[in-house]
Amino acid sequence: MELNRRQIMALAAGSAAFAATTSLSFPVLAANDAQDIINAFTGGAEAGEGALTLDAPEIAENGNTVPIEVTVDSPMSEDDYVEAVLIVADGNPNASVATFHFTPMSGEALASTRIRLAKTQDVIAVAKMSNGTFAMDRKTVKVTIGGCGG
């Protein structure tokens, strides 16, 4: 098959875009110990996706107060509930943000709060279920004014 110049350019652009998206979805160069904290929380177990939803704004004008909300799809009964949800931010001076602890008395595994983000970064939520499985979600939040007194 012979390619003309136009097709080659299109191919090159396509592969560049592909490389960009893959590098975005695997940010290996985390600035702090976010991954260690997650590993300590899960005990190295694989975290699935889907059950947990992390809601955060795409762009936060003020990093001093960024509203976030976590919701976990769970019946919250005595034998099947969400024990805890860990929140970490991978670009803050300290990765830990908060850990929510739920009980069957919670009725629904939903919690929201406001957090500080020093710069544009990923916020990651990991949920620990009572049956020992984990679920994870992450959102990139663009921060225009950092929230660490800078």
Partner 1 sequence: MANVKPRVKVPKSANAGEVITIKTLISHPMESGQRRDKEGNLIPRQIINSFKCEFNGTPVFSCDIEPAVSSNPYFEFKARVPESGEFKFTWVDDDGSVYEETKKIEVK
Among 7, 23, 65, 144, binds partner 1 (CB under 8 A): 65
CA-based nearest residue to 110, from 149, 52, 61, 24: 52
Among 56, 89, 127, 141, binds partner 1 (CB under 8 A): 89
144 binds partner 1 (CB under 8 A): no
HSE of 108, CA atoms in CB hemisphere, 13 A:
6
Among 103, 132, 144, 145, binds partner 1 (CB under 8 A): 103
Within 8 A by CB and 6+ apart from 89, the residues are 34, 95, 97, 115, 117, 118, 121, 122, 123, 124
13 binds partner 1 (CB under 8 A): no
101 binds partner 1 (CB under 8 A): yes
The DSSP result for 30-44, as a single string, is -SSSHHHHHHHHHTT
Q: Which is nearer to partner 1, 11 or 145 (CB)?
A: 145
3-state secondary structure of 58: coil
129 binds partner 1 (CB under 8 A): no
Residues of the shown chain interacting with partner 1 in the complex, contacts defined by CB under 8 A? 64-66, 69, 76, 89, 92-94, 96-117, 147-149
